[in-house]
Structure 1
Amino acid sequence: MFNQGKQFRRPDGTPYDPSPVNVRQYEEQYGPGGVPEGYSLGAITPLQDPRTIRVAACFLALVGGGSLALGFYCLTLPDEVGTGIWSIILGLATFVMVWWAFLMAGRRQRWRQAQQTKAEQKH
C-alpha cells in the first residue's frame, strides 16, 4: 500500500515535497518523463536517455516475444491451455510497455533536440 507520509529526499539528503500539481511544470522544464537532475520519486538516477530507453524496450520486446512463443506452444499441449492463455496475455501486456517506452523515448529525443536548438540560438 502506498504510504502517504513518505518523505522524499534530494540527492544531498534534505527532504522535499513533490506536489502532484508540479507534474506539468516538470515536463515543461525537464521534458516528457523528466525530473530534475538527481531527483525522482523512487530513484536517485532515473532512466532519461532516449537511447537507453530504447535499449530497455528492445530487451522487453525479447521477453514479450518469448512469452508469446511460450504461450502459443502451451496452447498445443492438452493440459496447459490456461498457462498458454496467461502467457499470451503477459506477452501482449509487455508489448504495450514496449510501445510506451518507444513513444516516451521519441518524445524525450524531440524535446532534447528542441532544447539544444534553443541553447544554440541563445549563443
Structure 2
Amino acid sequence: MKRDHVFRRPDGTPYDPNPFNVRQYEKQYGPGGVPEGYSMDAITPVQSPRLITGIGIFLTAMAGMMIYGAFAAVGEPGLSIYAAIMAALTLAGAVWAFIMASRRQRWLQEQKQASLDSRSP
C-alpha cells in the first residue's frame, strides 16, 4: 500500500521535508540556494558563484592529474581504466560546478536588477 502524504506550510503550500530536496527552495533562494544554515546537514552551504567556480577549477585540475595517471599507467590496464573512469567522473563534477555557478550568478544578477527596478520611481 502506497501512502502519499503531502506536507504543507502554514500558508497551505506543499513542501518536502526531505533534507536532500533542495529544489524546493530554488524559487526563493535561487539555483543551489537554500535557507541560511541549511544544506543537506551542512552548516555553511556553498552559494557564492566564485567559490563554486573555484571548486570547478579544482576538480578540473584533479581530473587532469588523473588523466595523466591514466596515460602513465598504460602498462597496467586495470589501473589505467580506473584512473580514466575517475577522471571522467571528476570532470563531470567540474562541469556541473560550472553550470551551477553560471545559473547562480545569473539568478543573483536578476535579483539585483529586480531590486533596482522596484526602487526606481
- TM normalised by structure 2 equals 0.79
Question: Contact 2:52–2:97 at 8 Å: present in 1 too?
Answer: yes
Separation (CA, whole Å) in 2 of partners of 1:28 and 1:19: 16
Query: Which whole-Å deviations, capped at 9, do the CAs of 1:39-64 have from their partners, x for residues lacking one?
Result: 22221100010000001110111111
Separation (CA, whole Å) in 2 of partners of 1:88 and 1:52: 26
The size of the alignment, in residue pairs, is 103
Gaps of 5+ in 1: 1-16
Change over 3 Å in CA distance of 1:18–1:83 after alignment to 2: same
Tell me how far 1:122 sits from its aligned partner: 1.4
Partner of residue 98 from structure 2, selected from 95, 99, 102: 102
Aligned-partner residue type, residue 33 of structure 2: G
Gaps of 5+ in 2: 1-14
Q: Which residue of structure 1 lines up, in the alignment, with residue 69 of structure 2?
A: 70
CA RMSD in angstroms comes to 1.7
Structure 1 stretches (4+) deviating beyond 2 angstroms?
22-25
- TM normalised by structure 1 equals 0.78
Separation (CA, whole Å) in 2 of partners of 1:70 and 1:120: 50
Q: Percent identity?
A: 46
Tell me how far 1:24 sits from its aligned partner: 4.1
